[in-house]
A and B are shown apart, each in its own frame.
Chain A
């Protein structure tokens, strides 16, 4: 019985997330469109509201092309690895008090593990397509993930030190219900480092090198088409959402808000996540792209030292204030 309930819960979460992914694309296209003084999707449904559905149907029915020279098994598996890893990390996210599939004690570590795993999908996709553009995209992604995973992990150490736990629910609770309790204030440096690494981890502008369109055509997914391409797309958007959720949980006080919304407890959580998503999109609409070596030097020479310094600083403050 317990398993059945869990399965139903998983199904509901899965459905909601898929819907979210669909409409996150819509959200992005609309926002970017209006920032660029155009309208975004307008044709399918009222103001293009059914556009994501139409896109989904289209990609399902498109031909699934496997390049002749590709390593077929890996080529087919790569998007699945990406999506599965991203979906799995959703399990430990507390959307509201008690609204969590698996409230495990090492939630934060679990998410790191999963997001690193997802990059295997990208790298394998780049390698298995047997194309030079995808290969370069895969290499870039590998380097990027390795360097920024470190920075991101280190940036969250401060949060762990303050809250004394790796359990995501407890991290939220440690921040208390008040506005001033949010870790973004004491951990402002960590938040900065986390935010930049978050952009890099999810391959977003200005760090979208693995799929830099004007350089590598479409990076690691150049050779993908139809549903497999859509799966990469989904994985990217779920990744964005997971990262936003971690940001919300660790720095913005999770589901706590100025007032309780009784009908829908995760209200504030969703608001905050979408705030993050908006900033993601906003940045994409504004900034140019870094070069590969510049990206690496920012990661290693700026962000990691900053994050380490933050740990030391937090440690001192913690030691002196008790």
Chain B
């Protein structure tokens, strides 16, 4: 497709500067339009569900501890290699016990791979995005910090935290069969594979 150019201006338009006047009229009109500015610190942006912000370890309501089972999947997948877990095997139960769980948040690239692969929904990137600090140490998260982050996030979200679903825990449009048991959460109908949004033309065909 060849581009169509607008016609060249004629002499009268040149003398009257009509195209410049049009532009001026437009900016003048915008002078009275409503500004789109958001006065940020006072007016927080609306954070969408599933935002990949500060890290947190979900506190298990029953035990009060982290849900992590030290499967090392998050460590394995992390592309920036910022998660470090130390654990030991509990001989009696045959399960792993987490000794330390550290995230170097300054190395993190917030890809969300860790919460995606976590089989038990233990790790989450919360919707908190303001946690800048003046020193590196305060953005190095150990297990206590991560659990505290979760508490802060829970307080921010309020009562709804029990039913909090991160799309990374239960991705929209993924069938239940491919998810681990802990990830098979109840989600809005729209998120299931049956409740998908389809296009108008497809709708008519059906």
Which positions in A face B, CB cutoff 8 Å? Answer: 31, 33-39, 42, 282-283, 285-287
- Report yes or no: A286 in contact with B24, Cβ–Cβ below 8 A: yes
Chain B 14-53 per-residue mask, 1 if CB under 8 angstroms from chain A, else 0: 0000001001101110111111110100000000000000
Query: How far, in whole Å, are A283 and B24 apart by their CA atoms in the complex?
Result: 7
What residues of A have a CB within 8 angstroms of the CB of B39 in the complex?
A: 39, 42
Choose one: B26, B30, B37; the contact of A39 (CB below 8 Å): B37
Residues of B within 8 A of A282 (CB): 24, 27-28
Once A286-B20, A287-B20 are accepted as A-B contacts, the answer to whether A38 and B35 lie under 8 Å apart by CB is yes
21 A/B residue pairs, CB under 8 Å, sorted by A: A31-B31, A33-B35, A34-B30, A34-B31, A34-B32, A34-B33, A36-B30, A37-B33, A37-B34, A37-B37, A38-B36, A38-B37, A39-B39, A42-B37, A285-B27, A286-B20, A286-B23, A286-B24, A286-B27, A287-B20, A287-B23
Count A-B contacts at CB 8 Å.
38
A37 cross-chain contacts in B, Cβ below 8 A: 30, 33-37
A35 touches B27 (CB 8 A): yes
Give me 11 other A-B pairs in contact (C-beta within 8 A), A39-B39, A287-B23 excluded.
A31-B31, A34-B32, A35-B30, A36-B30, A37-B34, A37-B35, A37-B36, A39-B37, A286-B20, A286-B27, A287-B20
Most buried by A among B26, B30, B35: B35
User: Is A34 touching B35 in the complex (CB atoms < 8 A)?
Assistant: yes
Interface residues on B, range: 10 to 19
A282 to B23 CA separation, bound complex (whole angstroms)? 10
A39 cross-chain contacts in B, Cβ below 8 A = 35, 37, 39
B31 contacts across to A, CB distance below 8 A: 31, 34-35
| Complex CA distance for A38 and B23, rounded to whole angstroms | 18
CB distance from B203 to the nearest CB of A (A): 36
Complex: A287 Cα to B21 Cα, angstroms:
10
Question: How near does chain B come to A299, taking the closest CB pair, in angstroms?
Answer: 17
How far does the alpha carbon of A285 sit from the alpha carbon of B24 in the complex, in Å? 8
Return chain B residues, CB-CB under 8 Å to A36: 30
Q: Which residues of chain B are near A285, meaning CB under 8 Å?
A: 27
A282–B27 Cα distance when bound, in Å, is 8
Q: Hey, which chain B residues are within 8 Å of A31, CB to CB?
A: 31
Q: Give Cα A31–Cα B30 distance, bound, in whole angstroms.
A: 10
Q: Which residues of A contact B28 (CB under 8 A)?
A: 35, 282
The CB with the most chain B CB atoms within 10 A, among A31, A37, A38, A287, is that of: A37
In the bound complex, what is the Cα–Cα distance between A227 and B26 (angstroms)? 37
CB distance from A150 to the nearest CB of B (A): 23
Query: In the complex the two chains form, what is the Cα distance from A285 to B25 in whole Å?
Result: 11
Shortest distance from the beta carbon of B45 to any chain A beta carbon, whole Å: 16
| Set of chain B residues within 8 Å of A286, measured between Cβ atoms | 20, 23-24, 26-27
B26 CB contacts on chain A under 8 angstroms: 286
Which 7 pairs, one residue from A and one from B, show the smallest C-beta to C-beta distance? Answer: A39-B37, A38-B37, A35-B27, A39-B35, A286-B27, A286-B23, A285-B27
The CA-CA distance from A199 to B27 in the complex, in Å, is: 19
Which A residues touch B23, using CB under 8 A? 286-287
Residues of B contacting A34 in the complex (Cβ-Cβ under 8 angstroms): 30-33, 35
Instruction: Tell me, in angstroms, the Cα distance from A34 to B27 when the chains sit together.
Output: 9
B28 closest partner in A (C-beta): A282
Nearest B residue to A283 by beta-carbon distance?
B24
A286 to B20, CA, bound (A): 8
Q: How far is the CA of A294 from the CA of B114 in the complex (A)?
A: 58
Residues on B with beta carbons closer than 8 Å to the beta carbon of A283: 24
The residue on B at minimum CB distance from A285 is B27
| Complex Cα spacing A237 to B34, Å | 28
